[in-house]
C-alpha cells in the first residue's frame, strides 16, 4: 500500500543516509556553533578587558587625586600645643625680666630683677648654671630690653643712669658622640656697666639692637622724660678691637615712654607710649636724628570698653625688623610698617590686624626664623599668629592668671609661659605650615618692603629674614596666558588646515599632508623649547617688524593670489587637478615671509626713527630706530622670552593634536549628507559650512579642548622659552611662569615635607583640577552638540 501510495503521488522514497554523509552534515552544523562560541569568548574577553582598562584609568586618576590631597591637607592644619611641665621659675625668688631657650630646647635662661641669670633644663626646671650681672651695690634694675631674638642680645637699665649689654649664648660639644650644650654669658664690650645718662637719672625704658657689622645702638628714656641714643661703633684691626661710644639727645615726646625698638639696619627708632601712640625717629645718622611722625595705634574707645587707658602695652619687631606688631590695652593686635607715600616719605602704616584678645595684651614675641609670633594677655589667653598668611593659628585659654611672658623656642617648637605667680609653663608646639592660607594663596598680600598689596611668587632668597611669597595667582595666570596665546595661534591654523585637507584636498596630497603633520606630534617638546628659547626668541627680538608684517601681509598675499587665480583663463586653471591648488600657495607663503624678514630693518628705521612732521607726532617715534626701544618708550615692557614666542612654539606642539582630531571628524561626515547637499544645488563651500561643519562640530570642539588641555599641561616649552617670571598680566611681550614649569624648576630644591614642597603639590592639584574642569566642560558640550546635530 505504501509503495503504491508513493507512486501515486509521483515521489520516490528518500535513500537512507550513509555513515559518511551523516558525519559530514554534523560537521557542517557543528562548525557555526563552535565559531559562535569562540566569538562569544573573544567578545566577553574584549568587553571585560576594555572595561577593566577603563576602570583602572578611573582608579589611577582617583589615586593621583588622593595622593595630592594627602600631601596638601597638612598645609591647612591649625597649630596645637601639648603641656610638658609646670614649675616655679628657677633661681632666686625675684621678679622675672626675661626667659628664653636655645634651639635644641635643652637649656633655658631666666633674667631676674635682682641681676641673677639662671640657666636651667626646660623640661624639669633643674638649674644648670647661675650667673650674676655686674650691678654695683645699691643699684637696682629699672628697665629691660631685648634685641632681635637671633642676636640673643639683652640690655638692662639701672637706677644710676647706667646700663649693661649682655648676650646669653652657648657652646656645643660632642663628648662620646653625645651633644652637650654649655651655656654662658658674653659681654660684647665690657663686663662693667656703661654710662647712659650723664645726669645719673634712672633709666625707665631701654631698647637695644646689634647691626651686621657688630655695632650696637641703644635707646634709653629717663624718669624725667628725656630720650637719648647711644651708639657703639666697633673698629677691628689686626692687633686690637677699638670701640667708640657716642651719645645723642633726641626730641622726646611729651608722653610717658614705655617701649623702645631699634631696627636691625640701625636706621629707625620706634617709641611706644602710655597714651596709645607710636613715634617714629629716623636715626641712620644719629648726629642728625630726625623725628618723623606720631601715629595712634591703640583705639581709645576699645581700651575704654575694657576699662583701661589707651596704652601700648607691648610691641615687638618681627623677624628682620621690617614690620612691627603692637599690642594694646584694648586687646588689639595690629601690624605696622614704614611705607613710602606719594612724596617718597616713609610713614607708619597699618597693614593688617589680627583677632583681638579679650583682655589687654601683655606679651608679644616673634619667631626666630619665620614671620610668626606668639601673644598673651592679662586673662591667661595665648595666641599663635602668622603675619604673611594673616592667620590666627591658635587661640586658647591656658592658665587662670595673668601671663607676663610668652616666648617661643628658636625653632618655634617649644613655648615658655610665665604667669603672675612666677610659675613657668613649658609646652611643646606643633605649627608646621603657618605660611599658607586661602588669603596668602589666592588674594593680594601686603608683603614687607612693598608699597601696596600684591600677588607675588618668591619662594626663596639669600637672607634668613626673607618673607616667602607663595601666591598661586601669578602661576595660574601664567598657565592660562601661555595656553591662551598657544591656542590663539594654533586653533585657526589647525582647524582651517584640517577642513581643507579633509574636504577639498585630493586624496593623494592628503596622504602626504596628514601623516606629515601628525608626525610633528612625535617631536620632543624639549627640542621645541630649546629652539624657541635659544634661536627663535632672539630672532623675533631682532625682527619685530617682520612679525607684524607677516600678520598683515600674509593674509593679504594669500587672498590676492586667490583672486588672481580665479581671474586666470579656465583652460589654464584646468591644468592643475582639483585639490592640488594648495601646493601653489607654498612658494607664495615662502616669498612673503622672506620679504618681511628682509624688509624688517628698513621698516624699523622708517617707522621708528624720529620724523618731525609735526609737534603732534612727537613721542610716537624713537630716535634709535628700534622697535623694542619704542615699546619701552610708550610704557610697554618687552622681554626677549615672552608670550609671543611661547604661543608660536607651543602652538606648533598643539597643532598636530587639533588638526588630527578635526580632520578625522570632518572626513568621517557621512557621504550621503554631502552628496545630497551637492545634488540639491549647494556649492561645495555652502555644503561645508552648512552641513559638514555642523555635523563634525562635536569632534572639532573635542579637538580644541584636548588641545587646550595639552597646552595647559605643557612643561618643557614654557620652561625654556618664557623666562619664568611670575607676573600677573596678559602682556604678549612679557614672559610668565606656569604651574607645571614651576613644579619642574623648584621641586628639586625643596625640603621633603616642608611648606614649599607641599605648596608645589598644591599647585599640581590646581593644575590637575583645571585640566579636569576643561575636559569635563568639553565632554558636556560635545554630548550636547552630538544630540543636537545627530538628526542631520
Instruction: In whole angstroms, give the CA distance from residue 76 to residue 79.
Output: 9
Please list the residues that pair with 227 across neighbouring strands: 221, 250
- Length of the chain (residues): 792
pLDDT at residue 210 greater than cutoff 80: yes
User: What confidence score (pLDDT) does residue 165 get?
Assistant: 93
35-44, 515-524, 584-593, 602-611: the lowest-pLDDT one: 602-611
Average pLDDT over residues 97-113: 94
Q: Which DSSP helix (H) or strand (E) runs through 210?
A: strand 203-210
The span from the CA of 484 to the CA of 478, in Å, is 10
SS3 365: strand
Q: Are residues 161 and 215 in contact, defined by beta-carbon separation less than 8 angstroms?
A: no
Q: In terms of Cα–Cα distance, which of 118, 84, 120, 79 is closest to 425?
A: 84
pLDDT at 474 over 60: yes
The yes-or-no verdict on residue 18 having pLDDT over 60 is no
Percent of the chain with pLDDT over 90: 57
Q: What is the DSSP letter of 465?
A: T
pLDDT of 516 > 70? The answer is: yes
What mean pLDDT do residues 756-777 have? 90
Quote the CA–CA distance of 390 and 163 in Å, as a whole number.
38
Average pLDDT over residues 736-760: 92
- Of residues 266, 276, 230, the one with CA closest to residue 250: 230
Of the pLDDT bands very low, low, confident and very high (cuts 50, 70, 90), residue 25 is very low
DSSP element (H, E) containing 303: helix 300-305
% of the chain at pLDDT higher than 70? 92
* Residue 118 in this model has a pLDDT that exceeds 70: yes
Tell which wins on pLDDT, 381 or 506. Answer: 381
Predicted pLDDT of residue 379: 94
pLDDT for res 568: 86
Asked if pLDDT for residue 615 goes beyond 50, the answer is no
- Lowest average pLDDT, out of 81-90, 235-244, 344-353, 419-428, goes to 235-244
Task: Extract the C-alpha cell encoding 215.
Answer: 655695632
* Residue pair 429/410 in contact by the 8 Å Cβ criterion: no
pLDDT at 385: 96
Q: 22 versus 499: which is more confidently predicted? A: 499
Label residue 493 left, alpha or beta by phi (over 0 means left) and psi (-120 to 50 means alpha). Answer: alpha
Q: Are 707 and 658 in contact (CB under 8 A)?
A: yes
Confidence of residue 179 (pLDDT cuts 50, 70, 90): very high
- One DSSP character per residue, 264-285 reads TTS-EEEEEETTSEEEEEE-SS
Residue identified by cell 647661675 is 130
SS3 state at 683: coil
What pLDDT digit, counting tens, does each position of 358-370 carry?
Answer: 999 999 999 999 9
Nearest to 76 by CA among 439, 433, 385, 390: 433
pLDDT tens-place string over residues 701-731 = 889 988 998 899 889 999 999 888 898 989 9
Taking a C-beta distance cutoff of 8 angstroms, is the pair 225, 168 a contact? no
User: What residues contact 334, with CB distance under 8 A and at least 6 apart?
Assistant: 297, 325, 326, 328, 350, 352, 353, 354
Average of per-residue pLDDT across 139-160: 93
Q: 346-354 and 333-340: which strand pairing?
A: antiparallel
The Cα–Cα gap between 225 and 222 comes to 5
pLDDT of residue 790: 67
Contact (CB, 8 A) for 475 and 763:
yes
Q: Residue 4 has what pLDDT? A: 41
307 contacts: CB under 8 Å, gap ≥ 6: none
- pLDDT of 394 reads 94
Least confident of 61-65, 139-143, 543-547, 572-576: 572-576
Angle at 24 between CA 19 and CA 27, to 5 degrees: 125
Given a contact cutoff of 8 angstroms between Cβ atoms, the answer to whether 357 and 398 are in contact is no
CA dihedral for 356, 357, 361, 365, sign (positive or negative): negative
Q: What is the pLDDT of residues 295-322, one digit of tens each?
A: 999 877 766 666 667 889 999 999 989 9
Tell me: the pLDDT tens digits for 218-230? 999 999 999 999 9
Q: What is the pLDDT of residue 304?
A: 64
Q: How far, in Å, CA of 177 to CA of 172, rounded?
A: 12
Chain mean pLDDT for the chain: 87
* Measured distance CA(100)–CA(94) in Å, rounded: 17
Question: Cell for 728?
Answer: 600677573
Q: Is 681:546 a contact under the CB 8 Å cutoff?
A: no
For the stretch 454-472, pLDDT in tens is 999 998 887 878 899 999 9
Rounded CA gap, 701 and 517, in Å? Answer: 19
Write down the pLDDT at residue 189. Answer: 81
Grid cell listed for 39: 566569538
529 half-sphere exposure, CB direction, 13 A CA radius? 15
Q: Mean pLDDT throughout 773-784?
A: 82
* Mean pLDDT, residues 64-89: 93
Amino acid at each position: 500500500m505504501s509503495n503504491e501510495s508513493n507512486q501515486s503521488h509521483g515521489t520516490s522514497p528518500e535513500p537512507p543516509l550513509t555513515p559518511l554523509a551523516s558525519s559530514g552534515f554534523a560537521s557542517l552544523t557543528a562548525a557555526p556553533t563552535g565559531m559562535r562560541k569562540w566569538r562569544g569568548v573573544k567578545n566577553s574577553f574584549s568587553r571585560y578587558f576594555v572595561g577593566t582598562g577603563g576602570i583602572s584609568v578611573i582608579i589611577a586618576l582617583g589615586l593621583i587625586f588622593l595622593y595630592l590631597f594627602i600631601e596638601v591637607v597638612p598645609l591647612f592644619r591649625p597649630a596645637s600645643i601639648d603641656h610638658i611641665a609646670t614649675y616655679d621659675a628657677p633661681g632666686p625668688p625675684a621678679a622675672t625680666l626675661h626667659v628664653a631657650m636655645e634651639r635644641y630646647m635643652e637649656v633655658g635662661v631666666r633674667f631676674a630683677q635682682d641681676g641673677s641669670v639662671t640657666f636651667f633644663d626646660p623640661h624639669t626646671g633643674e638649674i644648670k648654671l647661675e650667673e650674676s650681672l655686674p650691678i654695683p651695690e645699691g643699684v637696682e634694675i629699672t628697665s629691660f630690653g631685648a634685641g632681635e631674638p637671633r642676636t640673643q642680645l639683652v640690655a638692662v637699665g639701672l637706677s644710676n643712669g647706667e646700663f649693661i649689654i649682655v648676650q646669653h649664648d652657648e657652646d656645643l660639644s660632642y663628648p662620646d658622640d653625645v651633644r652637650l650644650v654649655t651655656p654662658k654669658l658674653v659681654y660684647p664690650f665690657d663686663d662693667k656697666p656703661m654710662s647712659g645718662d650723664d645726669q645719673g637719672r634712672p633709666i625707665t625704658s631701654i631698647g637695644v639692637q646689634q647691626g651686621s657689622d657688630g655695632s650696637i645702638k641703644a635707646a634709653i628714656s629717663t624718669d624725667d622724660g628725656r630720650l637719648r641714643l647711644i651708639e657703639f661703633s666697633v673698629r677691628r684691626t689686626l692687633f686690637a678691637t677699638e670701640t667708640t661710644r657716642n651719645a645723642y639727645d633726641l626730641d622726646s615726646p611729651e608722653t610717658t615712654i614705655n617701649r623702645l625698638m631699634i631696627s636691625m639696619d640701625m636706621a629707625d627708632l620706634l617709641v611706644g607710649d602710655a597714651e596709645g601712640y607710636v613715634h617714629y625717629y629716623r636715626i641712620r645718622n644719629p648726629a642728625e636724628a630726625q623725628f618723623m611722625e606720631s601715629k595712634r595705634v591703640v583705639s581709645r574707645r576699645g581700651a575704654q570698653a575694657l576699662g583701661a587707658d589707651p596704652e601700648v602695652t607691648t610691641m615687638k619687631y618681627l623677624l628682620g625688623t621690617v614690620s612691627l606688631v603692637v599690642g594694646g590695652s584694648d586687646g588689639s593686635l595690629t601690624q605696622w610698617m614704614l611705607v613710602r607715600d606719594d612724596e617718597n616719605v616713609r610713614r607708619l602704616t597699618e597693614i593688617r590686624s589680627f583677632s583681638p584678645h579679650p583682655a589687654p595684651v601683655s606679651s608679644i614675641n616673634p619667631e626666630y626664623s619665620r614671620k610668626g609670633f606668639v601673644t598673651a594677655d592679662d586673662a591667661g589667653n595665648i595666641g599663635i599668629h602668622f603675619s604673611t598668611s594673616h592667620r590666627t593659628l591658635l587661640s586658647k585659654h591656658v592658665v587662670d592668671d595673668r601671663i607676663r611672658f610668652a616666648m617661643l623656642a628658636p625653632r618655634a617648637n617649644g613655648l615658655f609661659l610665665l604667669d603672675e605667680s612666677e610659675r613657668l609653663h613649658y609646652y611643646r608646639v606643633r605649627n608646621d605650615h603657618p605660611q599658607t592660607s586661602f588669603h596668602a594663596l589666592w588674594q593680594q598680600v601686603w608683603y614687607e618692603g612693598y608699597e601696596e598689596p600684591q600677588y607675588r611668587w618668591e619662594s626663596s632668597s639669600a637672607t634668613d629674614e626673607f618673607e616667602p611669597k607663595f601666591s598661586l595667582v601669578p602661576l595660574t595666570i601664567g598657565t592660562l596666558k601661555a595656553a591662551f596665546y598657544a591656542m590663539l595661534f594654533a586653533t585657526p591654523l589647525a582647524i582651517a588646515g584640517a577642513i581643507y585637507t579633509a574636504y577639498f584636498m585630493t586624496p593623494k596630497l592628503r596622504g602626504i599632508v596628514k601623516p606629515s603633520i601628525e608626525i610633528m606630534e612625535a617631536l620632543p617638546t624639549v627640542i621645541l623649547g630649546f629652539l624657541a628659547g635659544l634661536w627663535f626668541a632672539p630672532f623675533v627680538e631682532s625682527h619685530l617688524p617682520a612679525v607684524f608684517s607677516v600678520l598683515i601681509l600674509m593674509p593679504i598675499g594669500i587672498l590676492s593670489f586667490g583672486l588672481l587665480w580665479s581671474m586666470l583663463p579656465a583652460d589654464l586653471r584646468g591644468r592643475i587637478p582639483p585639490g592640488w591648488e594648495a601646493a601653489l600657495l607654498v612658494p607664495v607663503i615662502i616669498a612673503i615671509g622672506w620679504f618681511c624678514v628682509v624688509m624688517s630693518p628698513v621698516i624699523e628705521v622708517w617707522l621708528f626713527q624720529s620724523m618731525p612732521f609735526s609737534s603732534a607726532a612727537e613721542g610716537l617715534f624713537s630716535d634709535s630706530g628700534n622697535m623694542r626701544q619704542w615699546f619701552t618708550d610708550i610704557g610697554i615692557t618687552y622681554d626677549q622670552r615672552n608670550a609671543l614666542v611661547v604661543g608660536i612654539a607651543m602652538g606648533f606642539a598643539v597643532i598636530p593634536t587639533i588638526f588630527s582630531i578635526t580632520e578625522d571628524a570632518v572626513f568621517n561626515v557621512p557621504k550621503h549628507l554631502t552628496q545630497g547637499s551637492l545634488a540639491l544645488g549647494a556649492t561645495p563651500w555652502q555644503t561645508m559650512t552648512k552641513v559638514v561643519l555642523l555635523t563634525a562640530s562635536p569632534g572639532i570642539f573635542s579637538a580644541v579642548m584636548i588641545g587646550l588641555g595639552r597646552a595647559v599641561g605643557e612643561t618643557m616649552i614654557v620652561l625654556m622659552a618664557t623666562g619664568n617670571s611670575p607676573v600677573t598680566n596678559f602682556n604678549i611681550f612679557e614672559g610668565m611662569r606656569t604651574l607645571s614649569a614651576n613644579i619642574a624648576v623648584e621641586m628639586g630644591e625643596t625640603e621633603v615635607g616642608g611648606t614649599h614642597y607641599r605648596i608645589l603639590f598644591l599647585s599640581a592639584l590646581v593644575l590637575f583640577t583645571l585640566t579636569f574642569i576643561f575636559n569635563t566642560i568639553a565632554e558636556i558640550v560635545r554630548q550636547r552638540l552630538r544630540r543636537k546635530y545627530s538628526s542631520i
